[in-house]
A = this chain, B = another copy of it.
Amino acid sequence: MSKVVTMGEILLRLSTKDYRKFIQADEYEACFGGSEANVAVSLAMLGMESVYVTKVPDNPIGRCAISFLKKLNVDTSNVSYGGNRLGIYYMEKGSAVRPSNVVYDRAGSSISTAQPADFDFDRIFEGADWFHFSGITPALSEQAGDVTLEAVKAAKRNGLTVSCDLNYRNKLWTANEARQVMPQYMEYVDVLMGGREDARKMLGFTLSKENEDDTPNLEAYEKMFQEMVEQYHFKYVISSLRQSHTSSYHDFSGCIYDGKNFYAAKKYEISPMVDRVGGGDAFAAGIIFAILSGKETKDVIEFSVAASALKHTIPGDANLSTVEEIEHLMKGNGMGRVQR
């Protein structure tokens, strides 16, 4: 069993029920999420030894976040306690022609005010195989960016594979700001994940051509991936390929380049969308799992796309699917039939 370490911010998510707008809410569904925490949960569900590193306030709300992770088998023994608050995001789920809406209230969170001294990375990475982070953490604060850099360096020093999901968030920083920060991490990254927007805004790569019908131009993706590998020596570059027809109906797929070969996966139609948040994190976890399991490049992308497709049918941030369920979907067996 491989051991994967992820690090980032875990937030309390407060969602209105039944497609209510915020102004209609007098209760909120509460769960916990955050890009890297979602990856950690996914990996634990897939049977990996999954270690999540973060900092949460030493109060009941912070401890609830950790209990959530424990329930789902994530190793939280390296979590740092302190700081002032757990970040929040409010969510109003869209439907049909109405987009989902997210209100962040994460400024001043414990992880955004964390410092390198809060974590002993060499100890954390003992016996670990992989370290995963995302571009959200450096966007939180300069300090959080420093912690990330320490982590990445320690991961390489300890011989781990390092993956990064770019995850551009325009409510946290501008493309300009992101482009001044993100490239410094790239020399340590082995596996890069991110959509075309992320690649353009955060690293300055662009697709040479786009299809008019909103379908992905795979040749352009392959070309861009080659440029990215050339510049940063990534072992894998991977992008999800999502077409958002409406809030309730997406097509989801992905493509991968391993330095030699480029593959695009089968496309899944997601309709209706149960919960779109965390689709990318389920995808990232699928990639990490598949590579660590020794799958071939083509199978890596097929597995991770199927994993992400399933996530879109599960409420909450995290993919709770098992390897068996993902492989069941990949085989196309019994689609839509009750298992009884």
Interfacial residues, chain A to chain B (CB-CB below 8 A): 14, 18-31, 59-61, 63-64, 67-68, 70-73, 84-86, 88-90, 92, 94-105, 107-108, 169-171, 244-250, 268-274, 276-277, 309-310, 312-316, 320, 325, 328-329, 334-340
Contacts and interface: CB of A to CB of B under 8 A. Distances in A.
Contacts of A340: 89, 102, 104, 169-171
A105 B61 contact: yes
A89 to B, nearest CB: 8
A244 B334 CA distance: 8
Contact of A90 (B61, B101, B105, B244): B61
Given A313-B96, A340-B171, A60 B23 contact: yes
A64 B313 contact: no
Given A67-B72, A70-B71, A71-B68, A103 B60 contact: yes
In this complex, the member of A100, A245, A274, A320 whose beta carbon has the largest number of chain B beta carbons within 10 angstroms is A274
B244 A337 contact: yes
B60 A101 contact: yes
A30 B31 contact: no
Given A99-B337, A336-B246, A338-B99, A314 B169 contact: no
A136 to B, nearest CB: 10
Contacts of A29: 26-27
Given A100-B338, A107-B108, 12 more contacts: A23-B60, A60-B90, A95-B274, A96-B269, A97-B269, A97-B313, A97-B335, A99-B328, A99-B336, A101-B338, A104-B340, A244-B334
A335 B31 contact: no
Contacts of A99: 328, 334-339
A14 B26 CA distance: 10
A283 B197 CA distance: 35
Nearest to A104: B340
